[in-house]
Chains A and B, each alone.
Chain A
Amino acid sequence: MQIEQLSAAELVKRIGTGELTAAQCTDHFLGKIRDKNDDNGAFLAQCDEQAADAAKQIDASIAAGKSPGPLAGLPVAVKDGICTAGITTTAGSKMLSEFVPPYDATIVSRLKDAGAIVIGKTNMDEFAMGSSNENSAFHPAKNPWNHDHVPGGSSGGSATAVAAAMAPVAIGSDTGGSIRQPASFCGITGLKPTYGRVSRYGLIAFASSLDQIGPMTRSAEDCALVMQTLAGHDKNDSTSAPVDVADYMAALEKPLSGLKVGICKQHFEEGLGEEVRASVNDAIDVLKTLGASTVEIELPYTQYGIAAYYVIAPCEASSNLSRFDGVRYTNRAAAENLEEMYSKTRAEFFGEEVKKRIMLGTHALSSGYYDAYYLKASKVRRMIKNDYDKAFESVDLILGPTVPTTAFKFNQHAADPLAMYLADIYTVAANLSGVPAISIPCGFDSAGLPVGLQLQARRFDEATLLQAAHQYQTQTDWHQRSPQS
């Protein structure tokens, strides 16, 4: 069996026993990146030296009989919106093309402490704004199942990297679906944790109240393995929750008998692709055979999710992105005076989509509009949260498609940005309400593109998500299929 076909759990096991060295494993994946990146553009940076050094240290410590850490030797690709000390971190933007952070994001430190090795930084829509990777300021990543199709976004590079076996594990971030939608498009497993479950410290903010970092892997089991390291309170992030972390690996093996699954009516209405619908329905049957029962539920306010999301996220973004003003670490345009320096810098180094959202957010927060936009959207958000609270009184999970369609082609939505925004229609509500959600592969369409199944759970109940996803994956092999490229 080729190294890249092994699960993350298996890689860590073999490295721990000495059957495989961290150096061999790291070399192997760095080689894959070199081979494939020109074609699929998954990575913006490859960390050959740092990764080789780290691997050497892991091997030395294993040889010295020291405890190698739960992820010892595991290569990890990190989304380029997450700060890595000494490694250029661009967030997919020309604004930050020269930015080398002096510090590691909390999750990067945690991964390193657990023995994981950062092998590269993955492509993304600029500042995580996009659903196709077409907004990367450098080049888009491509869907490994078909290079004419988008990998999804904004964590498209991470999804491509895992699907194309350039990394066993990638880290993404999800603001409105940015982990789950590309996971769905690329046929991998992607978890958006509960808001507050994983530290955001070091994640270049898009919309702070919605952003969450999470793992993107081939299987739920690998997701659980990595999540165990990512999860937990961080004193540097006030919004990270001081809630105990469950034993995710132990939760995987529990049978699903007695599990109540809510099927959200709103997720099966107009707009859902027929092939996607069929695959999702098949998945429901699989879960039933595993002992889960299903019940139809309603989340009536989620129909306003996209509208609320496209107010709240740009509002927060307009403020979060103010720091990119040409004064400090960003690129700077030549100008005669301060005002001109600001406007030229921001005009030149921000992409179109980012500028559009900054303007939307700035407008929505302006005096006289605040109540009608931001305040109203916040109220809708509360109603959506109430919907979920009510639903979870009677069900353990909510099931539905991750995205209405499979991966679309490049430029397909160029003329109709609203259609692109609808790619987030089933995913934004989890961000607005803060609940955890996972996307797992559940089939393919007739063009051979993957279909994703979304499961959502109560706040801080990632264990049940991973359990159900894993049990489903014991009965199906969608997650084990690999693209040719």
Chain B
Amino acid sequence: MNQTLETTQAQRDAVTDADVTLIVGLEVHVQLDTQSKLFCNCSTAYGADANTQTCPVCTGMPGTLPVINQRALKLAIKTGLALNCKIANYTKWDRKNYFYPDLPKGYQISQFDKPICGEGHLTISDAKGAFETRDIQIERAHLEEDAGKSIHDETGAQKPSKIDLNRTGTPLLEIVTKPDLRSAEEAKAFLTELKLILTYIDVSDCNMQEGSLRCDANVNLHIKVDGEKIATPIAEVKNLNSFRAAERAIGYEAERQLRVWKKDGLGIADAPKQTRGWDDANQKTTKSREKEDAADYRYFPDPDLIAVETTDEEINAIGSTIEYLPSKLRTELMESYGLEAYDTEVIVSQGIGVVTYYKTVADFLTKSASGSKSPGKTASNWVAQEVLRYLNEQNCAIGDYPISGDQLGELLARIAKGDFDQTRGKDVLAQMLENRADLEAAIEKLGIKAVDSGEVEALCQQIIDENQGVIEQIKGGKVQAVGSLIGKAKKLNPNINPNLVKETILKQIGI
């Protein structure tokens, strides 16, 4: 990296996209799913009336002292383990000092040099192959308390600002990546995978609207100019409150920084780090009004709290509570159920409930001796199409789906056996959903009965007799014309197996 290389306008004009590498690091704040705050017993529930979830401790009353919430510590360790982080046997608390009205103590209790989680990594991949699968390095993850919320008058009437301290002291885990991401798509994939992991290990509700997951992105460019590499000034884009916003803000920054650099040629050493915000309405980042001089937070160890020592046994015990990780389930679905990457992703991205449901269906079908050639794939098609569509339409979770995995497996087994075809199968499923009927009742309601071979032959003969024109076409070599005859057969008897109709007709006319 050349910190001070001066470039000419001509050199900068000659730079093409191929010379530019986007460098992105993320800081993600995750609200851990605890009943009470990090250092007091106040509730963390969202949406209560302002300042009703406060006490002397979280309002920073003189004389009060913090006491660590053990569950928050466990959830932080669990998250670290899921992100392949080295968990610290010794971790401590530090004060980050700054004045702000929604920071009642005048400092935030955080972790400075001994975070609970050290280096780790998270693997990102794209089922459609938009980028190569790779490990994104995680620098650290530390626990800290959230600040309160300032509510400023936006009517222009200069009314006093208000402060709500309900959120003050809520436990946050700040996960910091190394500047390892190379595109907006990768950043989005990282966030998506992170959220999926957090959901699987049940440490956060990850509700972005309620601020349970917040993201800042550090973005700059490395530009090759005549064999030298130049870095552009870093922009920290704050408060990206959706994955889409993160992706777009990073994309915007990439474009903006190149445009600015082409004009002014300023490198990382020429300009300070800039704080920017994402303007969703106008789809661009804007410079924040914050002061540019580097804040001195005067970190020092919080004397009100004792250091936390955790043994390897305790860490392992917490690790053993991690039942499912998306990466392991992906491998299982591909290797044991024969699914392709894309189908796997559709199932796994839905969370552990859908994965478990899928496995029940596939397992039932596999064991059913129905002769299903690819039970894994069949089950995935039905779950991905039928079940997920229902969940979307009804806006409900898999736990509320009215049909058990075994029942759906049985339905698929009956189709595989040839009792009725797929289309009739979907009718059966609709019947089961509509009337909360079990499989047999739905089949009976629809009047589905097995058709014996004598009936099939008689029906086919009738069709041959009534459709001589079509038969002549078939005999003349246009075999696909038999399709229209199958339709007619189904109208005469909806339970008839179309394949059997085709076979029988062709046999009867001697083809």
A binding-site residues for B, Cβ under 8 Å = 82-83, 89, 91, 96, 99, 101-103, 105, 200-205, 207-209, 235-239, 315-316, 318-319, 321-325, 327-329, 338, 342, 362, 365-367, 370, 374
| A91 close to B62 (CB less than 8 A) | yes
Give the residues in chain B near A83, CB-CB below 8 Å.
Answer: 61-63
> How far is it, in angstroms, between the C-alpha of A327 and the C-alpha of B67 when the chains are bound?
24
| A365 close to B62 (CB less than 8 A) | no
Would you call B334 an interface residue if the criterion is a C-beta within 8 Å of the partner chain's C-beta atoms? no
Give the residues in chain B near A315, CB-CB below 8 Å.
Answer: 300
**Also in contact, A322 and B107, with CB within 8 A (given A201-B64, A342-B99):** yes
- Per the 8 Å Cβ criterion, residues 55-69 of B in contact with A are 56, 59-68
Interface 0/1 of B262-298, CB less than 8 Å to A: 0000000000000000000000000000000000101
11 A-B residue pairs with CB within 8 Å: A82-B63, A101-B56, A101-B62, A238-B304, A319-B107, A322-B99, A322-B105, A323-B60, A342-B99, A362-B298, A367-B296
> How far is it, in angstroms, between the C-alpha of A237 and the C-alpha of B40 when the chains are bound?
11
Give the residues in chain A near B106, CB-CB below 8 Å.
Answer: 319, 321-325
Give the contacting residue for B104; candidates A321, A328, A374; CB below 8 A. Answer: A328
> How far is it, in angstroms, between the C-alpha of A89 and the C-alpha of B105 when the chains are bound?
18
| B63 close to A105 (CB less than 8 A) | yes
Would you call B36 an interface residue if the criterion is a C-beta within 8 Å of the partner chain's C-beta atoms? no
Q: How far in angstroms is the closest Cβ of chain B from A129? A: 15
Q: How far in angstroms is the closest Cβ of chain A from B237? A: 25
Report which residue of A322, A325, A366 has the largest number of chain B beta carbons within 10 angstroms of its beta carbon: A322
Report which residue of B65, B105, B306 has the largest number of chain A beta carbons within 10 angstroms of its beta carbon: B65
| A237 close to B62 (CB less than 8 A) | no
Give the residues in chain A near B101, CB-CB below 8 Å.
Answer: 325, 327, 338
Q: Which residue in chain B gives the minimum CB-CB distance to A315?
A: B300
| B65 close to A236 (CB less than 8 A) | yes
| A328 close to B60 (CB less than 8 A) | yes
Q: Which residue in chain A gives the minimum CB-CB distance to B101?
A: A327
| A-B contacts besides A201-B65, A235-B67, A323-B104, 12 pairs, CB < 8 Å | A99-B62, A101-B62, A103-B56, A203-B63, A238-B66, A238-B67, A238-B306, A322-B97, A323-B106, A324-B106, A366-B298, A370-B298
**Also in contact, A238 and B97, with CB within 8 A (given A208-B304, A367-B296):** no
Give the residues in chain B near A201, CB-CB below 8 Å.
Answer: 63-65
**Also in contact, A236 and B62, with CB within 8 A (given A322-B97, A365-B300, A367-B296):** no
The list of the 9 closest CB pairs from A to B, nearest first, reads: A322-B106, A209-B303, A208-B303, A365-B298, A204-B62, A202-B63, A83-B63, A323-B60, A367-B296
Interface 0/1 of B94-128, CB less than 8 Å to A: 01010101001111000000000000000000000
> How far is it, in angstroms, between the C-alpha of A324 and the C-alpha of B105 when the chains are bound?
8
Would you call B346 an interface residue if the criterion is a C-beta within 8 Å of the partner chain's C-beta atoms? no
| B68 close to A238 (CB less than 8 A) | yes
Would you call B463 an interface residue if the criterion is a C-beta within 8 Å of the partner chain's C-beta atoms? no
Interface 0/1 of B159-203, CB less than 8 Å to A: 000010000000000000000000000000000000000000000
> How far is it, in angstroms, between the C-alpha of A99 and the C-alpha of B63 when the chains are bound?
12
**Also in contact, A316 and B303, with CB within 8 A (given A328-B59, A366-B296):** yes
| B306 close to A101 (CB less than 8 A) | no
| B304 close to A239 (CB less than 8 A) | yes
> How far is it, in angstroms, between the C-alpha of A191 and the C-alpha of B204 when the chains are bound?
48
> How far is it, in angstroms, between the C-alpha of A101 and the C-alpha of B97 when the chains are bound?
24
Give the residues in chain A near B99, CB-CB below 8 Å.
Answer: 322, 325, 342
Give the residues in chain B near A366, CB-CB below 8 Å.
Answer: 296, 298
SS of A interface (majority): loop
Give the residues in chain A near B68, CB-CB below 8 Å.
Answer: 238
> How far is it, in angstroms, between the C-alpha of A7 and the C-alpha of B48 when the chains are bound?
53
Q: Which residue in chain A gives the minimum CB-CB distance to B67?
A: A238
**Also in contact, A202 and B64, with CB within 8 A (given A325-B106, A365-B300):** yes
Give the residues in chain A near B104, CB-CB below 8 Å.
Answer: 323, 327-328
Q: Which residue in chain A gives the minimum CB-CB distance to B294?
A: A367
Give the residues in chain B near A82, CB-CB below 8 Å.
Answer: 63
> How far is it, in angstroms, between the C-alpha of A138 and the C-alpha of B187 when the chains are bound?
59
SS of B interface (majority): loop
Would you call B305 an interface residue if the criterion is a C-beta within 8 Å of the partner chain's C-beta atoms? yes
Give the contacting residue for A238; candidates B61, B63, B107, B305; CB below 8 A. Answer: B305
**Also in contact, A239 and B61, with CB within 8 A (given A319-B300, A323-B105):** no
| B62 close to A96 (CB less than 8 A) | yes
Q: How far in angstroms is the closest Cβ of chain B from A320? A: 9
Q: How far in angstroms is the closest Cβ of chain B from A21? A: 33
> How far is it, in angstroms, between the C-alpha of A322 and the C-alpha of B300 when the chains are bound?
14
Q: How far in angstroms is the closest Cβ of chain A from B52? A: 15
| B303 close to A236 (CB less than 8 A) | no
> How far is it, in angstroms, between the C-alpha of A387 and the C-alpha of B64 when the chains are bound?
32
**Also in contact, A103 and B298, with CB within 8 A (given A238-B66, A238-B306):** no
Give the residues in chain B near A236, CB-CB below 8 Å.
Answer: 65, 67
Give the residues in chain A near B66, CB-CB below 8 Å.
Answer: 238
Q: How far in angstroms is the closest Cβ of chain A from B462? A: 87
- Per the 8 Å Cβ criterion, residues 22-65 of B in contact with A are 56, 59-65
| A239 close to B56 (CB less than 8 A) | no
Q: Which residue in chain B gives the minimum CB-CB distance to A365?
A: B298
> How far is it, in angstroms, between the C-alpha of A463 and the C-alpha of B105 when the chains are bound?
37
| A102 close to B306 (CB less than 8 A) | no
Interface 0/1 of B62-93, CB less than 8 Å to A: 11111110000000000000000000000000
Give the residues in chain B near A203, CB-CB below 8 Å.
Answer: 63
Q: How far in angstroms is the closest Cβ of chain B from A197? A: 15
Give the residues in chain B near A325, CB-CB below 8 Å.
Answer: 99, 101, 106
Q: How far in angstroms is the closest Cβ of chain B from A109? A: 13
> How far is it, in angstroms, between the C-alpha of A319 and the C-alpha of B109 when the chains are bound?
11
Give the residues in chain B near A321, CB-CB below 8 Å.
Answer: 106
Q: How far in angstroms is the closest Cβ of chain A from B308? A: 10
Q: How far in angstroms is the closest Cβ of chain A from B346? A: 48
Interface 0/1 of B337-348, CB less than 8 Å to A: 000000000000
Q: How far in angstroms is the closest Cβ of chain B from A322? A: 2
Give the contacting residue for A101; candidates B61, B105, B298, B304; CB below 8 A. Answer: B61
> How far is it, in angstroms, between the C-alpha of A394 and the C-alpha of B64 when the chains are bound?
39
> How far is it, in angstroms, between the C-alpha of A235 and the C-alpha of B300 when the chains are bound?
24
Give the residues in chain A near B163, CB-CB below 8 Å.
Answer: 327
Q: How far in angstroms is the closest Cβ of chain A from B456? A: 80
| A323 close to B304 (CB less than 8 A) | no
| A205 close to B63 (CB less than 8 A) | yes
| A101 close to B67 (CB less than 8 A) | no
Report which residue of A318, A327, A367 has the largest number of chain B beta carbons within 10 angstroms of its beta carbon: A327
| B61 close to A103 (CB less than 8 A) | yes
> How far is it, in angstroms, between the C-alpha of A328 and the C-alpha of B103 when the chains are bound?
11
Q: How far in angstroms is the closest Cβ of chain A from B18? A: 40
| A323 close to B296 (CB less than 8 A) | no
> How far is it, in angstroms, between the C-alpha of A235 and the C-alpha of B67 when the chains are bound?
8
| A319 close to B95 (CB less than 8 A) | yes
Q: Which residue in chain B gives the minimum CB-CB distance to A210?
A: B303
Q: How far in angstroms is the closest Cβ of chain B from A20? A: 33
**Also in contact, A323 and B300, with CB within 8 A (given A102-B56, A328-B104, A342-B99):** no
Give the residues in chain A near B298, CB-CB below 8 Å.
Answer: 318-319, 362, 365-367, 370
| A319 close to B63 (CB less than 8 A) | no
Give the residues in chain A near B304, CB-CB below 8 Å.
Answer: 205, 208, 238-239
Report which residue of B56, B99, B163 has the largest number of chain A beta carbons within 10 angstroms of its beta carbon: B99
> How far is it, in angstroms, between the C-alpha of A398 and the C-alpha of B312 when the chains are bound?
41
Give the residues in chain A near B299, CB-CB below 8 Å.
Answer: 365
Give the residues in chain A near B300, CB-CB below 8 Å.
Answer: 315-316, 319, 365, 370, 374
Q: How far in angstroms is the closest Cβ of chain B from A31? A: 30
Q: How far in angstroms is the closest Cβ of chain B from A101? A: 7
Report which residue of B60, B62, B106 has the largest number of chain A beta carbons within 10 angstroms of its beta carbon: B62
Q: Which residue in chain B gives the minimum CB-CB distance to A330?
A: B62
Give the residues in chain B near A324, CB-CB below 8 Å.
Answer: 62, 106
